[in-house]
Structures are given as structure tokens and as C-alpha cells.
Structure 1
Amino acid sequence: MTDFGRLVTAMVTPFDERLEVNWEQLPALVDYLIDVQKSESLVVCGTTGESPTLTDEERKRMVESVVRLAKGRAKVIAGASNNDTLHSVQLTLEAEAAGADGVLIVAPYYNRPSQAGIYEHYKAIAKATKLPIMMYNIPSRCGIDVEVDTTIRLANEFENIVASKEAHGDLDHITSLVAKAPSHLKIYCGDDSLTLPYLSVGAHGVVSVASHVVGSQIRSMVNAYAEGDPVKARRLHHELFPLFRGMFFCPNRVPNPAPVKHALNLKGIQVGGLRLPMLAVNEAEGQFIEELLSHL
């Protein structure tokens, strides 16, 4: 049974001054996330990695490079999402050829298919690959919700659907999903500030953005809860909560990954700027993030 661990980092893509992928900086970023921030798996070329603005060739090379650099210290989950099912299948097969340990597949965005259409989308991908699949349900970005029964139907029919990343605040949904899930299906929180509430109703872990800067603390929080110490987990949650919220709701609600890229640059992990239509933080937003980090 595939286990991606309890702390998965949705990794940024480092860019240079020309906003080309900074291949020279990539080894330092991978080592930092695994050795310092204690990530057990890395999602490469997900939304935090600015996948919408990466070419297919860049995505393939990113996966190949991170697999090589991780050296088995962490699993590599390739973002292979697209709202064109055949394109998502193609990206999945390329990730498999590149040596990925799994793929992350978001629900088809913008075209807003029915639950039957969502089912067929994941079915086509699951039948095309032997790789473990992590589904990704984020209604606020996709415009659709992958309903509990759809996820459970897919997990029951396809053993390589092993996880679902859920990024929403509907704890009734998560409770029902955990209760109905087959033993091989792990539920992950996709919103840092909701990690502890998710764990309390049976989630396995978190796919985190804040883990770029406080990964070791997040892993301690998740492990504390799993090991039967909710008091320690709650204390860590409260300590980290201002950062969790601030990284996503800093002034003007700056969208991910601009805040975390700025935080990494402040810490000396040079990951550069962002490709349009995403923008770097402005001066006031940057000062807000710097103050957040100073209180850790």
C-alpha cells in the first residue's frame, strides 16, 4: 500500500531573473524541504508550483530532476492535472516515465462537469496508469465539488486511487468521507489552517504550503495528534495559526504562491518571482510577511 506520509509539501517552482526555471537552485530547494522542513513527499508542478504557466516539457524535466535529487528520501508526486482528460492522461504517463511515485489530479476546472463526468475523468486516468493517484477536491478554484459518493466509488473500483486532498472547510464532508473510505484511501487536508480539525475527524495528514517555512513544526503537530497527544498538537496549532492564515490572507488576499515565495526569498532560499498572471507581493505585503516570520 502506498503511503505518502503525513506531511506532503506542495513545492514551489524556482525561477531566475528571466522567469525561466532555475535548475541550478532546484537542488538546494529540494534538500531544504526534505532535510530541514522534514517533508515526507513533495508535490511537483502542482498549483503552488505554478503548473498553469509551465510547459509540458518543463513539467517533465521538473519531475525527472526532483526524483533524481530526492534520492528516495521523499516520495515525488507529480501534478498531472488538466481539464482536458486526454491531456491529463498524457501528463500522467509522462510522470510515470519520469519516475514519479504518484500523481496529483485536480477535479476538472472551468468546464464544470457533472459527477458522472468527474467519475469518467478519474476513471480514464486510473485505467491508463499503475501510479498511485491522489485526487484533489478544491471547489473554490474548480467551481465544482467532488462529492463523497463519487470519491468513494472511484476508490472502491480502482486500487491505485489511494488518497484525496480536500481543500475546503466542510467538516461534514470530511467526516463522511473518512467514515466511508476503504482502508487504502487516505484523506489529506489541503488548507494548512484546517489541518488539526481535519485530523480530529480522521484525516491522515496535510498537503501543505506553509511547510516551506514551518514544515518541521507542522510535522510535529500532525505526529503529536497521531501519537495520542492532542494537547501538544493543539498548542502547536495555535502557535502556527497566525502564519497559516497570514500566508493566505495577508493584505489584499494575495493569492498563493506569492506569499510563500517571498517568505522563502527572505529566508535565503532563492526561488525568484512569479509568471503572469500571478504577481509578486508589493512592499506592504512583503513587510507583513516579514513580520509574520519574525514572530515564529
Structure 2
Amino acid sequence: MSIMAPAAEKNVTGLVAATFTPFTPEGELNLSEIGPYIDYLTEKQGVNSIFVNGTTGESMSLSVPERKILVEEWCQKAKGKMDQVIVHVGCMSLKDSQELARHAGQIGADGIAVISPSFFKPSTANALRMFLQEVASVAPTLPFYYYHIPAVTGVNVTARDVVEGIEKLIPSFRGVKFSGSDLMDFGQCISYSRPCWSILYGIDEQLLAALALGAHGAVGSTYNYVGCHINRLLSDFEKGDLIQARKIQFKLQELLLFATKLGFDLGVNKQLMNEVSGLNLGPPRLPVMPCPPDHALSIAQKYYSIFSEC
């Protein structure tokens, strides 16, 4: 394993693709797809930052050794091509999270993110902050992000309460990946944020609302295959052209509403990425079920009817 010096720290802005983990048909890691995957994101979608081993990457279905192997490959292949590689290191076990955090620092990741444990759940914001502090402490030079996704973790502590005073506990704290629908909580995180923080929104179909509240960027799974269109949404918003920005947001909503009626989940989302990108990322890992072929075809056809080539 090569040791890479960390890149110069900079705020995360724009789109960040939450990457899928490539598997073989037998369910093993398929590292050979990572290089072409990065090229696809940068060349076809105009997406130059990635969030790896997160929810979209099926991190909780991966072993610690698998997560290390993946991160090494992502960082190596992204070097010189990607602006940011943020690594999710959250686990149910504090020790596993610390092991992954140390490893991310050793191989030159640009930042780490941590989700709340969801089996033994922290009951207060303070308990969650203490967990995050313990993880961050083993990789003190890496920018650290709290990954807020209450619908998955079942931890009903507002992100605003979590970040209250967190910069004193975690000097490396640099922001939040906010994958929740509570826009008031999101707005309060923006209001409290420091100049060196990036508050990134993670509900793709509501991005425009988050931008109005001051989102610094966005992390999402759909940016793997609609990134070029959402980049135009960002540009339109920055120019003050809300009519065009809304049109693009509504298109993504139309696609996701159609997919949801067919049972849009991680397996379906991953297969849609396979269909659109031409990559071979394989099936999801059990207990997530593969996408029925007819569903994948229907959603892909809907995608092409809504979105033109970039």
C-alpha cells in the first residue's frame, strides 16, 4: 500500500457523485470497472468529485478489508482526474470506523465522512458528537464530515444540534452531508456554518430548494447519470434563471416518481446506472435484490424520453 500525501485542503462545492460499488455477477468486488467509471463521470457527466463507500456504495454490506481495497483503488485511479475523493468510514463499531479513518489518511483521501451508528443508536446529539470525535481523532489532518441520513439510521437528532460547538471538539470538522428532507434543519446548518465548512445536500429531487437556502454543493446517486444536466441546473441557478433551473429539477422529479412506482431502490438505481453508462457494475449484494429486467428497461426508456444527450 502506497502512502500518499493529502491534497491541499479546499472547500467542497458543486456536484459529488455517490458511487456504486462494482461487483462481479458472483458478488465479489470488480475493481477493473473503477478506472472506466471515473473516466465516465469526468468525461460524460462533468462530475469531478466522488463520495465512496456510502449508502449508494453498499458500505454496510461490505467487510472492512473490502472497504479498504475499494478506497485504495478509487484514490489511485482518481489521482490527477478528480478534485475530491471523500471516503465514508462509518460503521456500527467505533473501532472499525477508526481503522478505516486511519487507512483513508494513509492512502491520500481528501476527506472522511461518518454516519451515525444505527443498531446501538446515540440517544442525544452529545453522544453522537462524542462518537464522531473519537473517529476524527485518529485522522486529525483529514477534513471530517458528518453524514446525516436519519431515514436510514433512525437517529432522530437534528444535524443542527450535532454541529453545535463541534468545531471545538473536532478541529478538522469541515461540514455535513445532509441527506434529510427537513429543510429547516438544513437551513439552520447553513446559518451556523463556518467559512471553511461545506454543507452538502443529499436529496437529489429537492436540490433546488437547498440551493435557495445556501447549499454549497450536493452529493447524490443520480449525479452518476444525470450529472451533466444537474450541472446546468447549478449554472442556471447561479445566473438567476430559476425558470430553467426548475425545468431541470422537475425532469429529475418526473424520472424518480416514475421509478418509485416500480419500486425504486438501490438495486434498481444501480441497474439504471448500468443501462445509462454502459458500465458493468454488477448486481447489488444481498439482502438488496437485483432489479427485474423489465423494470430496468422501462426506467431507462423513461430516462431517455426525459433527458437528451449532454
**Matched AA of 2:147:** Y
Task: State the partner residue of 2:5.
Answer: none
- Contact 2:45 / 2:228 at 8 angstroms: preserved in 1? yes
**Matched AA of 1:4:** V
Task: State the partner residue of 2:184.
Answer: 172
The one-character-per-residue Cα deviations of 1:158-201 (angstroms, maximum 9, x if unpaired) are 34211201112111111211112122222111111011111111
Task: State the partner residue of 1:143.
Answer: 154
Q: Quote how far apart the aligned CAs of 1:207 are.
A: 0.4
Task: State the partner residue of 1:282.
Answer: 292
Asked if 1:134 corresponds to 2:145, the answer is yes
The one of 214, 217, 230 equivalent to 2:242 is 230
Task: State the partner residue of 2:41.
Answer: 33
How many residues align? The count is: 293
**Aligned mates of 1:111, 1:226 — CA distance in 2:** 42
Task: State the partner residue of 1:194.
Answer: 206
Asked if 1:210 corresponds to 2:218, the answer is no
**Aligned mates of 1:121, 1:72 — CA distance in 2:** 33
C-alpha change, 1:250 and 1:287, in structure 2 (3 Å) is farther
Q: Quote how far apart the aligned CAs of 1:156 are.
A: 5.0
Q: Quote how far apart the aligned CAs of 1:157 are.
A: 4.2
- 1:68-217 residue pairs with structure 2 within 5 A? 68-74=76-82, 75-114=84-123, 115-129=125-139, 130-147=141-158, 148-155=160-167, 157-217=169-229
Task: State the partner residue of 2:22.
Answer: 14
Where structure 1 has 5 or more consecutive residues not aligned to the other structure, the ranges are none
The one-character-per-residue Cα deviations of 1:220-250 (angstroms, maximum 9, x if unpaired) are 2123323433333222212222124445x24
**Aligned mates of 1:87, 1:146 — CA distance in 2:** 23
The one-character-per-residue Cα deviations of 1:99-142 (angstroms, maximum 9, x if unpaired) are 21111211221212122210101111222211111211111110
- Contact 2:179 / 2:201 at 8 angstroms: preserved in 1? yes
Asked if 1:53 corresponds to 2:57, the answer is no
- Contact 1:178 / 1:202 at 8 angstroms: preserved in 2? yes
Query: SS state of the match for residue 218, structure 2?
Result: strand
**Matched AA of 1:51:** S
With normalisation by structure 1, the TM-score equals 0.93
- Contact 2:101 / 2:136 at 8 angstroms: preserved in 1? no
- Contact 2:121 / 2:155 at 8 angstroms: preserved in 1? yes
Where structure 2 has 5 or more consecutive residues not aligned to the other structure, the ranges are 1-8
**Matched AA of 1:128:** V
Query: Which 10-residue stretch deviates more, 229-238 or 179-188?
Result: 229-238
Query: SS state of the match for residue 223, structure 1?
Result: helix
Q: Quote how far apart the aligned CAs of 1:26 are.
A: 1.7
Task: State the partner residue of 1:44.
Answer: 52
**Aligned mates of 2:43, 2:79 — CA distance in 1:** 12
Task: State the partner residue of 1:242.
Answer: 254
**Aligned mates of 1:250, 1:62 — CA distance in 2:** 33
**Aligned mates of 1:208, 1:152 — CA distance in 2:** 25
Query: SS state of the match for residue 103, structure 2?
Result: helix
**Matched AA of 1:274:** P
**Aligned mates of 2:271, 2:252 — CA distance in 1:** 18
Asked if 1:221 corresponds to 2:233, the answer is yes
Q: Quote how far apart the aligned CAs of 1:149 are.
A: 2.5
With normalisation by structure 2, the TM-score equals 0.89
**Matched AA of 1:185:** W
**Aligned mates of 1:245, 1:161 — CA distance in 2:** 35
**Aligned mates of 2:65, 2:178 — CA distance in 1:** 28
- Contact 2:149 / 2:179 at 8 angstroms: preserved in 1? yes
